[in-house]
Amino acid sequence: MTSYQQRGNSGWTFVEMLVAISLSAVFLGAASLVLGSINANSKRLTQIIEVDIGTDANQSFYGQAGGKLRVYAAPNFGKAAFAQEMRDAMLDDAAQSSSIFILPRQLNNTIRPEFLRYVAGDLDTTTPRPRLDTPEAFRSFLAGAEPTSSAIYDTPIRNVPSVNRPNTTIYMLTPDADPSYTRILAVYEIDLTPTSNVSGTYASVRRYKNGALTGYYDVFYESGSGDPFQPGFVVFERTSRAAVVEGQAIDRFKVSEGSPFYLVWLPDPAINPYKVAPWSATDPASAPRQAYEHMAKKTSFLVALPMFPNL
């Protein structure tokens, strides 16, 4: 047996052990400092707030009794991961949808069916087929299929929601085998609820399937001097609609060469939009961006959704 082989079968020398222990001490010491910093910062930067959103909101959102919830305050980067998951789920559902309609509201939403009655699809019917090519047309159709929805979606919508309707519902539709019905693939809701016990806003984003809550994320925004987090969405129409002149406020949104589409802003748990410095307007009234340019820096979750994904 060679001396090299004998050396390979023997244990470590004292010098080698001393070096290994020294290196381990260096690495463990650095790791302890990093871990200590993470623990200290997590306690300093992460805050859990008990908010009162009201019994009606809590029941409508989550099917829970009482009005108080415990929620992380922004900024919270862990919650931002949940927002990313919700955004991805929204895009996946959009890819499977035949049409998407977004409506603004002030009240809590309770209209989350799996099917909507489509009378025009009945055999031998004389009912004309509704032209569902705008959110406003869908709002009228929904009022016929679900009469109680007219009290929730009580304001006409064209391009920009009213400042008095800060909450948003997204209906994603898909064809059904029965021509007398249309299926709702998923319903997404975005609510900004003022809290009564602390000064701020409770933001909640949820997904429902056939009335059942399948996922959500939430965050608390402490009050600040920043601009309100709205509009929650804007609607862009086809350029072909520019043939009819309807005034600058509407005509500026007729810019889509293909399918009409939406821009949707999701609340960002990592940013408190109410503490972002107020925006100084730069775009002229003739530009569509003038209606939403102040949303810059308020969220990292901007979603573009076509009104007719599968067409």
Residue 6 covered by a domain: no
Q: What residues contact residue 28 under an 8 Å CB cut-off, 6+ apart?
A: none
Q: Is 90 exceeded by the pLDDT of residue 41?
A: no
What average pLDDT does range 277-302 have in this prediction?
94
Q: What is the pLDDT at residue 42?
A: 47
What average pLDDT does range 112-118 have in this prediction?
95
What average pLDDT does range 262-282 have in this prediction?
95
- C-alpha 137/C-alpha 176 separation (Å) is 20
Q: Is 70 exceeded by the pLDDT of residue 29?
A: no
Residue 260 covered by a domain: yes
Q: Is 70 exceeded by the pLDDT of residue 26?
A: no
Q: Is 90 exceeded by the pLDDT of residue 2?
A: no
Supply the pTM of this predicted model.
0.85
Q: What residues contact residue 15 under an 8 Å CB cut-off, 6+ apart?
A: none
Residue closest to 201 by CA, chosen among 170, 160, 174, 232: 232
Q: What is the pLDDT at residue 106?
A: 97
Which one is predicted more confidently, 30 or 160? 160
Residue with tokens 């992380």: 72
- C-alpha 179/C-alpha 115 separation (Å) is 11
Residue 141 covered by a domain: yes
Residue 181 covered by a domain: yes
- C-alpha 63/C-alpha 66 separation (Å) is 10
The answer to whether residues 120 and 127 touch, using CB atoms and an 8 Å cutoff, is: yes
Strand partners, 103: 169
Q: What is the pLDDT at residue 115?
A: 95
- Strands 254-256, 233-238: parallel, antiparallel or unpaired by DSSP? parallel
Q: Is 70 exceeded by the pLDDT of residue 36?
A: no
What average pLDDT does range 297-302 have in this prediction?
96
- C-alpha 235/C-alpha 306 separation (Å) is 10
Distances (CA, A) of 199 to 203, 220, 272: 13, 10, 13
Q: What is the pLDDT at residue 94?
A: 97
45-92 pLDDT, tens digit per residue, is 579 999 999 999 999 999 999 999 999 999 999 999 999 999 999 999
What average pLDDT does range 105-123 have in this prediction?
94
How many domains, the chain? 1
Q: What is the pLDDT at residue 30?
A: 57
Q: What is the pLDDT at residue 13?
A: 73
Distances (CA, A) of 59 to 92, 108, 114, 195, 209: 27, 10, 20, 15, 17
Residue closest to 145 by CA, chosen among 191, 180, 104, 196: 180
Residue 268 covered by a domain: yes
Q: What is the pLDDT at residue 34?
A: 52
3-state secondary structure of 18: helix
Domain residues for 198?
A: 75-306
Q: In whole numbers, what is the pLDDT of the chain averaged over residues?
A: 89
The answer to whether residues 208 and 145 touch, using CB atoms and an 8 Å cutoff, is: no
Q: What is the pLDDT at residue 79?
A: 93
134-191 pLDDT, tens digit per residue, is 999 999 999 999 999 999 999 999 999 999 999 999 999 998 888 999 999 999 999 9
Distances (CA, A) of 54 to 57, 218, 310: 6, 15, 39
Residue 164 covered by a domain: yes
Q: Is 50 exceeded by the pLDDT of residue 254?
A: yes
Q: What is the pLDDT at residue 177?
A: 83
The answer to whether residues 190 and 266 touch, using CB atoms and an 8 Å cutoff, is: yes
218-244 pLDDT, tens digit per residue, is 999 999 999 999 999 999 999 999 999
Residue 44 covered by a domain: no
Question: For 7-11, 27-31, 142-146, 280-284, which range has the lowest pLDDT when averaged over its residues?
Answer: 7-11
What average pLDDT does range 96-107 have in this prediction?
97
What average pLDDT does range 30-34 have in this prediction?
56
Token pair listed for 298: 């308020």
Q: What is the pLDDT at residue 107?
A: 97
Residue 10 covered by a domain: no
Q: What residues contact residue 296 under an 8 Å CB cut-off, 6+ apart?
A: 279
Integer Rg of the chain from CA = 27
